[in-house]
Amino acid sequence: MVEAKPTAETASSASISVVDAKTGETVKGITGELIGGSIDTNDLLKWNTSDTPVMTFDNLIYINKKYGITLYNVPDEYKKPYTEAFSFNGYGEHKDIVIELEPAYTMGDINDDGAVDSVDASAVLSYYAKISTDKEGGFDDRQRKAADVDRNSVIDAIDASNILAYYAYLSTVKEEPMNMETYMTSN
């Protein structure tokens, strides 16, 4: 039996949004492009999240073939890669696709292990000792951003002290703890 070609009424569709994973808010200024599914977009399937927070594509006629979403102009504060893939199992399907961009770093988490603790404070002190003696500190850009917890563009013992204070706060708090950013602005 030959499968019928989809019509406008039976074609699949996808609604795509790009949001900050922490806040759920649209990340503006990103250019998105729908690719794949054996289509030649010729720039017809691009949009900007500032103008169109949720982009809906109707009349997607390919099933069991991968469509992809590629994001351009993603701010540096988000992790890479910026691609997402999906496919349809049958005609008439609709997919709501929410691309959640994760932060490239967590304030205070120098070693990116998911915890802000004494190990991170020690890493900051080591970095500070090295750069104080005109040596290379050894941090990459992500680590430098995570280490500068007081946001004064200097990584020093004060940042390490603030990381230790936050670690002590986490060890004693009974309710849901505030994140490091909120902690730094409230103390």
Residue-level pLDDT, tens digit, the chain, 187 residues = 445 566 667 788 999 999 999 889 999 999 999 987 655 445 568 899 999 999 999 888 888 888 999 999 998 888 877 788 999 998 889 999 999 998 888 999 999 999 999 999 999 999 999 999 999 999 998 899 999 999 999 999 999 999 999 999 999 999 999 999 899 999 8
pTM: 0.66
Q: What is 12-101's CATH topology?
A: Immunoglobulin-like (2.60.40)
- 184: its two tokens: 């730094």
Q: Going edge to edge, which strands form the sheet with 46-48?
A: 46-48, 31-36, 67-72, 83-86
Every domain of the chain with CATH number 2.60.40.10 lies at 12-101
